[in-house]
């Protein structure tokens, strides 16, 4: 499957679709998820045109994880979260709905029913 330059995250990265940006650097873009699983659900996007983790360069993969590591404590602080999940899905069968590599940062709260 070829990378579709018209996927929604590619449009957001080009400034053609709106987003709530919380951080950006030369290799990554971080925004709030439009349908948050919990309060503070955030997405780390690579700026590389890659469908899944296996298409992504090592350099871009490293940049995403470094950004997630940098951003997660701030998300936890502003949301008062007790923990945070870093996850990433590859393929529709695994739950991937947008074919542009992104990592989820999902804050978790004590007393929540966690079943993932």
Site residues, ligand 5GP (CB under 6 A): 8, 19, 31-35, 43, 89, 95-98
To ligand 5GP, the closest distance from the beta carbon of 102 in angstroms equals: 6
102 annotated active-site: yes
To ligand 5GP, the closest distance from the beta carbon of 76 in angstroms equals: 19
Looking up tokens 């529709």 gives 92
Closer CB to ligand 5GP, 65 or 98, in the complex: 98
H/E element holding 58?
Answer: helix 58-79
Q: Of 100, 102, 104, 115, which one is the catalytic site residue?
A: 102
- Go through 13-37 and write b for each residue having 16 or more CB atoms within 10 A of its CB, e for each that does not: beeeeebeebeeeebbbbbebeeee
Q: Determine the Cα angle at 56 with ends 50 and 61, to 5°.
A: 125
Closer CB to ligand 5GP, 29 or 63, in the complex: 29
Please identify every residue annotated as catalytic.
Answer: 102
């Amino acid at each position: 499957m070829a990378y579709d330059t018209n996927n929604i995250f590619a449009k957001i990265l080009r400034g053609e679709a709106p987003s709530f940006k919380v951080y950006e650097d030369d290799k990554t873009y971080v925004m709030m998820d439009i349908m948050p699983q919990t309060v503070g659900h955030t997405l780390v996007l690579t700026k590389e045109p890659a469908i899944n983790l296996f298409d992504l360069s090592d350099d871009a993969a490293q940049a995403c994880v470094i950004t997630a590591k940098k951003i997660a404590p701030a998300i936890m602080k502003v949301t008062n979260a007790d923990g945070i999940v870093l996850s990433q899905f590859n393929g529709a069968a695994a739950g991937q709905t947008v074919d542009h590599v992104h990592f989820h940062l999902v804050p978790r709260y004590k007393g929540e029913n966690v079943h993932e």
